[in-house]
Amino acid sequence: MRSSLSKDLSELTTERLCLRIWTAAEARAVLHSDGSDARPADWAEDFPSEGDSVIAGLLGGNPAWLGTFGHRLITERDGGIVVGSIGLFWPPSDGVLELGYGVVASRRSRGYATEATRALAAFALTAPGVHTVTAGVELSNPASVRVLEKAGFERYVTTPAEDAEGVARFAVTRHNLGE
């Protein structure tokens, strides 16, 4: 799979998706979405999800997350519909960045999460001083485990959780991605 960047680095495109940086206005729209007619026409009917709303709420307190190596909306290239979000929790800690993602229910099982995760992880590994991208997933969410495995991440630890089967931590490096 090939991906490309816009000249200003605001958009990362893959075969089927465009990963574009959130704007402050989009974050406000997510926070104030209530199902009314004011919803942007380019949102999937079930966007934003709960996770998207959480990220939108955190963007104001984390301005770096609105930057090049921050959070992005996942948009279908055909039609321009926003179907989820994916992001990097900037800045890195000792060369490690955390990645998180979510695709709305109406667009799951299409490989979008894997495609977006693979592209953003590869892009993150081009950031100065970044050598590893990590992600965590609850084992009670096997679909998300498969996303990370298909995207080239390798499990490095599993920890027990208080109210679930546990949490698995995954990581990818340039070596894992064949770069």
Write out pLDDT tens, residues 121-156.
Answer: 999 999 999 999 999 999 889 999 999 999 999 999
Start-to-end C-alpha separation, the chain: 13
Mean of pLDDT values over 57-67: 90
Nearest one of 158, 147, 152, 144 to 171, comparing CA atoms? 152
130's CB contacts (< 8 A; 6+ apart) are: 92, 95, 96, 97, 124
Q: Please state, in angstroms and as integers, the Cα–Cα distance from residue 112 to each residue in 9, 26, 34, 68, 123, following that order.
A: 20, 21, 25, 21, 16
Report the chain's mean pLDDT, rounded to a whole number. 91
| Beta-sheet pairing, 167-173 with 132-138 | antiparallel
pTM above 0.85, yes or no: yes
CB 99 within 8 A of CB 134: yes
